[in-house]
Chains A and B, each alone.
Chain A
């Protein structure tokens, strides 16, 4: 599996994107989608934290994608 395919397999599925879109277009939840504006250093730190916290989820998705592709190959 190429790196591009691996990265693609980590992207949200269509159903997840649709669910997110429905939430985003709900005015009652608009605050959950507003820009976070607490300055550049906060943004850098928050990006680093989000990156670290999402590693387990990414690994889980990666394993699932690899197992899925192997099963399909068999």
Chain B
């Protein structure tokens, strides 16, 4: 988004990126609904399970278990030497070197942040309604302006396509919500259709979603927005150059002006350099900090790290138990909710309801303490009503969580050590909030079956490693109000690294708006 803004302004822009390309599985996914493909497609094992059966999770594997083989290239392995991160056993921080980063596999849920949230993050609330509208028009967001969640989830943006069609599971949930709205609202619970970067109308060369229920495997007609779409569009412009296959590890600002950026080849590790007048870092919270550290020349440093923790609750939607599932449906979360805790209304909790349909039964059977034959029968009986309620919490800087950067001996590559010690008081509050959400779900006739609490960090919502602070603040890495990295003249940071607070709501849409804002600040600095 930042590159697009700069290219539109007439600047010559070069994007340096690892840029791993999608594997071939996506091309095998047929243009037909999931249930039909399951009955007829002889190639289905390739994209459902993967050629090396990489789509079959083993042991206690949690992260990536829901990433299907066509999307698994997006996540860098935890033991990656290209992007090394060290954590304790209770943490799992994941990175992406894919074209478009983690956005290549995001769930397409869009949220705007309120002025109060933007203020806490250190951003300028006044400019974001315009930025949100511009991003919504660019990527195509579907949703309703009349929704109960609109004031909490998507206020400020009005440029929307019609909402996606609900499947029977989602419709029954919204019906139950309508019947219980007053009681739920009194408890701070608001439910509505998700705001999704999914087209319901054509947009340029992109098509409306065909409701094949194959969205976890392939983006038919590019109906789901992925950052790679923007990059491919930019490649048509003469003032844009895309350089893939490189990892940026540092920079230098020569006295003569400008910036020299240092890279290594992704495969051959060959060193390369690029020159620019100005550099904008948008490599994600961990990797932007890694590059900033590499450029500032310290032997090691410690900075803040924010992560939005999540818990998942498999539930049976009793209204749909034993009922026939929809053939025509969208796989992504059609319903989202917000809990405004009555005792702390500033600390919103976000939750999303995913109906489990196209992710295959063997993954359910794997988690059941039953013999496989029994697990399969239970899965077949429950799957049309099975939903996963994901509850997400906000995060603020605290001394119990940190990112320490140091240089590895030999290669000199910056190694990220992430440490987190849970705060019992905070965990108690989060647990209480989750119980409030579950109480609301019971009122909607959802029967919770258990809780899945993945390792801290698995939500892959990260921020806060180069916070935007007032001058003189004591953080090893920081930016000024213009997104400029402190200690540099011409290096800016345009991703969630600069945020001082991470709201519970999904961050991707605001990352895009924020990147545009950072680009505008660069334009201001150049003029």
A57 surroundings in chain B (CB, below 8 A): 370-371, 374
The 5 closest A-B pairs by CB, nearest first: A43-B322, A10-B369, A54-B374, A25-B45, A57-B371
Shortest CB distance A50–B (Å):
5
CB pairs A–B below 8 angstroms (15 shown): A12-B375, A20-B361, A20-B372, A21-B360, A24-B362, A30-B38, A33-B361, A35-B325, A42-B322, A43-B321, A43-B382, A46-B377, A58-B369, A58-B370, A61-B371
A26 surroundings in chain B (CB, below 8 A): 45
Q: A12-B371, A30-B39 are in contact. Are A39 and B44 (CB under 8 A)?
A: no
Shortest CB distance A30–B (Å):
5
- Contacts A27-B38, A43-B382, A58-B370 supplied; 11 other A-B pairs, CB < 8 Å: A11-B366, A12-B370, A17-B366, A20-B372, A21-B49, A21-B55, A25-B44, A27-B42, A33-B38, A37-B323, A47-B378
Q: Are A20 and B362 in contact (CB under 8 A)?
A: yes
A53 surroundings in chain B (CB, below 8 A): 374
- Contact residues of A with B, CB < 8 Å? 7-8, 10-12, 14, 16-22, 24-27, 30-44, 46-47, 50-51, 53-54, 57-58, 61
Contacting A at CB under 8 A, from B355-375, are: 360-362, 365-372, 374-375
Chain A's closest residue to B323 (CB) is A37
Q: Does B376 count as interface, using CB distance less than 8 angstroms?
A: yes
Interface centre among A31, A33, A57 (most CB of B within 10 A): A33
Q: Does B40 count as interface, using CB distance less than 8 angstroms?
A: yes
Shortest CB distance A37–B (Å):
4
A34 surroundings in chain B (CB, below 8 A): 35, 38, 380
Q: Are B365 and A12 in contact (CB under 8 A)?
A: yes
Shortest CB distance A72–B (Å):
17
Interface centre among A18, A20, A26, A51 (most CB of B within 10 A): A20
Q: A12-B375, A18-B56 are in contact. Are A24 and B369 (CB under 8 A)?
A: no
A-B contact number at CB 8 A: 120
Q: Does B318 count as interface, using CB distance less than 8 angstroms?
A: yes
Q: Are B381 and A47 in contact (CB under 8 A)?
A: yes
The contact size tier of chain B is 35 or more
B362 surroundings in chain A (CB, below 8 A): 17, 20-21, 24
CA–CA, A9 and B56, complex, Å: 19
Shortest CB distance B513–A (Å):
40
CA–CA, A33 and B362, complex, Å: 9
CA–CA, A16 and B322, complex, Å: 26
Shortest CB distance B45–A (Å):
4
Taking a contact as CB atoms closer than 8 A, the residue among A12, A16, A22, A43 that contacts B381 in the complex is A43
CA–CA, A10 and B366, complex, Å: 10
Q: Are A41 and B49 in contact (CB under 8 A)?
A: no
A14 surroundings in chain B (CB, below 8 A): 58-59
Shortest CB distance A3–B (Å):
10
B39 surroundings in chain A (CB, below 8 A): 27, 30-31
CA–CA, A51 and B58, complex, Å: 25
Q: Are A7 and B322 in contact (CB under 8 A)?
A: no
Chain A's closest residue to B45 (CB) is A25
Q: Does B384 count as interface, using CB distance less than 8 angstroms?
A: yes
Chain B 289-333: CB-based contact to A (< 8 A → 1; otherwise 0): 000000000000000000000000000001001111100000000
Shortest CB distance B362–A (Å):
4
Taking a contact as CB atoms closer than 8 A, the residue among A17, A18, A47, A54 that contacts B371 in the complex is A54
CA–CA, A58 and B53, complex, Å: 28
Q: Are A11 and B381 in contact (CB under 8 A)?
A: no
Shortest CB distance B501–A (Å):
34
Q: Are B318 and A40 in contact (CB under 8 A)?
A: yes
Q: Does B29 count as interface, using CB distance less than 8 angstroms?
A: no
Taking a contact as CB atoms closer than 8 A, the residue among B41, B57, B380 that contacts A27 in the complex is B41
Q: Are A50 and B378 in contact (CB under 8 A)?
A: yes
A21 surroundings in chain B (CB, below 8 A): 49, 53, 55-56, 360, 362
Contacting A at CB under 8 A, from B24-56, are: 35, 38-42, 44-45, 48-49, 53, 55-56
A11 surroundings in chain B (CB, below 8 A): 366-369
Chain B's closest residue to A6 (CB) is B369
CA–CA, A37 and B343, complex, Å: 43
A43 surroundings in chain B (CB, below 8 A): 321-322, 381-382
Q: Are A27 and B40 in contact (CB under 8 A)?
A: yes
Q: Are A24 and B360 in contact (CB under 8 A)?
A: yes
A42 surroundings in chain B (CB, below 8 A): 322
Shortest CB distance A26–B (Å):
7
Q: A8-B369, A37-B323 are in contact. Are A24 and B361 (CB under 8 A)?
A: yes
Q: A27-B44, A30-B38 are in contact. Are A39 and B58 (CB under 8 A)?
A: no
Q: A33-B380, A50-B374 are in contact. Are A40 and B322 (CB under 8 A)?
A: yes
